Amino acid sequence: MRGISRSVVVASLILLPLTLAFAGCGGEGALVPTLTASAATATVPTSPSMPTPIPEQAVIRILPTPTPRPYPPTPTLAPTPTPRPTEVVSTPTREVEVKEKEEAAPSPTETPTPEPVSSEVVLVPAGEFIMGTTFEDESPPHEVFVEAFEIDKFEVTNEEFERFVTETGYQTDAEKAGEEDNWWAYAGGKPRHPVVKVTWDDAVAYCQWAGKRLPTEIEWEKAARGTEGLIYPWGNEWDPAKANTKESGYRGTTVVGSFPQGASPYGVMDMAGNVAEWTSDWYKAYPGSDFSSPYFGEKYRVIRGGGWFSDQELVRTTERSASSEELRNDDVGFRCARSAE
């Protein structure tokens, strides 16, 4: 998430979405041995120049616990000469206004059952993996067994979300609030970019229509890091050329799957950067954790993966962020999952 590290996004007293930031206030803590041999690969790097962790010992940067601060709006940035993946597309338009769609919508008895969306999915086999690190809300590292499941290979795109809206007449929460700063304001000329400006409820509605659901936090982390406890989807060495992040310089979303070298061990794309992704879970402490937070509980939903404005610390496979369900931002989207048949 941009502007926050080891964060949780919280609602402010005036009901605006806020973020919880658990690391990233600029402190450079000491490097100390922390992980056991079984979880040595879950090391948090301190910089791109840090050597690859060695077996039997790992290090982690200990940062001061920051005061939670609002999830900031994306700043307006000047264009840069940095090239980005391109596509030749026509600008999508909304064929009719939402009001007209509502007036023309068939009665419930006439509404056909939609066919499930056949977006490409990746099978993650059943088995155990090490989840978490020793850092604060990511602690403790623990072994988790996960039943087999399927997860979208790519983040849900504007063209996929537009099909959903066209077939159902669905209005996002931003549209219901009369906001012009909504999903289709960011979709022009970008059909294969991830949809943004969607709340948790918007994401749930799409997944249900597609015959799927949001992934759990456990499913998301296993799909991102595999069984070897990787720090990033592609490995343990930071590489800004393998993800759309703040360091990469794209300053906005890119076509999904534009960084194939950054794929996870299962071949899932953009699990680091591009857009951060909603999961189905509440933000809670891990089993056996001695870390406490006033924000734990059934208050905020977990968001994973970091977005295009997130730095390398925030796109690690174990990084946890969270928000009130009402959050809608231009670096937050989602992908769907379902149990394997």
- Rounded to an integer, what distance in angstroms lies between the CA atom of residue 76 and that of residue 56? 45
Percentage of the chain with pLDDT > 90?
Answer: 64
pLDDT of residue 341: 74
Q: How many CB atoms lie within 10 A of CB 240?
A: 16
The domains found in the chain, sorted by start residue, are: 7-339 (3.90.1580.10)
DSSP for 263-291, written as a single string: --TT----SSBSSEEEEEEE--PPTT---
pLDDT of residue 102: 34
Give per-residue pLDDT as tens, 180-225.
Answer: 999 999 999 999 999 999 999 999 999 999 999 999 999 999 999 9
Beta strand 321-323 pairing with 301-304:
antiparallel
DSSP for 53-113, written as a single string: PPTT--EEE--PPPPPEE-PPPPP----S--------PPP--SS-HHHHHHHPPPGGGPPP
> How many residues can be counted in the chain?
341
Q: How many CB atoms lie within 10 A of CB 46?
A: 14
Q: 81 is written with which tokens? A: 């000469």
Give per-residue pLDDT as tens, 29-52.
Answer: 332 233 333 333 333 333 333 333
224 closest CA partner among 155, 285, 136: 155
The residue type at 302: V
- 58-72: average pLDDT: 34
Exposure string (b/e) for 20-39, b if CB count within 10 Å is 16 or more? Answer: bbbbbeeeeeeeeebbeeeb
pLDDT of residue 119: 77
- Rounded to an integer, what distance in angstroms lies between the CA atom of residue 172 and that of residue 141? 37
Angle between helices 158-168 and 200-209 (to 10 degrees): 80
- 222-246: average pLDDT: 97
Contacts of 35 (CB under 8 A, 6+ apart): 42, 43, 57, 58, 60, 133, 134, 141
- Rounded to an integer, what distance in angstroms lies between the CA atom of residue 159 and that of residue 183? 11
Q: 71 is written with which tokens? A: 């999830």
The residue type at 265: P
DSSP 213: B
Q: 228 is written with which tokens? A: 């070897």
228 closest CA partner among 56, 41, 59, 51: 41
